[in-house]
Structure 1
Amino acid sequence: MEKTFIILKPDCMEKKLWGKVLDRFADAGFEIAACKMAQLGSELLRTHYAHVADKPFFPEIEAFMSSRPVIMVVLKGDDVINKVRDLLGPTDSTKAPAGTIRGDMGESMMINVCHASDGPETAAAEIARFFKPEEVLG
């Protein structure tokens, strides 16, 4: 059974959308293998966003992602990575169709409700970055 990593981002938390988002994942048949809430710090964000940490817009990402606690979730299910990304819609919420999580609840490229792993290798690395092995069940 495949696993993926999700962050319910600060905009999701501020607007109290976490229940609606998790309901969509549950309705799609996915199970939670791990879940916790945390305030993300600079070092962890710099590691997580290493692919853009040297870009001029990174300080804005860092400020946003550390602005309030987030919920981190490991979901499991058949083809969960692709199916979650389909449920979310495109990263840019302004281009996400109605009926997708980002299309219905997001605002922009950054204020887009959730982060989700984009492939099996990324999912494994992100799960290991945010969870200890014993915290991930099943």
Structure 2
Amino acid sequence: HYSHIAHLPFFPEIEKFMSSGPVIALALQGPKAIERVRELLGPTDSTKAPKGTIRGDWGKDKMHNVLHASDSAETAKAELRRFFGSENPVVGG
């Protein structure tokens, strides 16, 4: 997922953090799902996220920001394929 930044000097810190604990992956769908989820999360940089958003309440900074969410339909399709093996993962198990 982070191959586009693997050559950058801060990558080892990101890699260490991202592998420091368990991960729960969710695939959410619905009208304006990307927009609505990103509103709930707040800005990527938790220091700029207002209280009442997930990142504003629980995040620490731009890297330790609690959650990742796709930023576009194209990104979502790629991430669904990467993490779930399909653009259309099974709904309801």
Which structure shows the higher strand fraction? 1
Query: Which residue does the alignment assign to 1:56?
Result: 9
1:132, CA displacement in angstroms?
A: 2.5
The C-alpha deviation readout for 1:33-60, integer Å capped at 9, x for no partner, is: xxxxxxxxxxxxxxx0122111100110
Question: TM-score scaled to structure 1, two decimals?
Answer: 0.62
* Two-structure CA RMSD over aligned residues (Å): 1.6
Q: How far apart, CA to CA, are the structure 2 residues paired with 1:107 and 1:98? A: 12
Q: How far apart, CA to CA, are the structure 2 residues paired with 1:98 and 1:136? A: 32
Question: TM-score scaled to structure 2, two decimals?
Answer: 0.90
Q: Structure 1: which 4+ aligned runs deviate by more than 2 Å? A: none
Query: Which residue does the alignment assign to 2:33?
Result: 80
Q: How far apart, CA to CA, are the structure 2 residues paired with 1:113 and 1:67? A: 13
Structure 1 unaligned spans of 5+:
1-47
**Greater RCO between the two (CA within 8 Å, min separation 6)?**
1
Q: How far apart, CA to CA, are the structure 2 residues paired with 1:52 and 1:82? A: 25
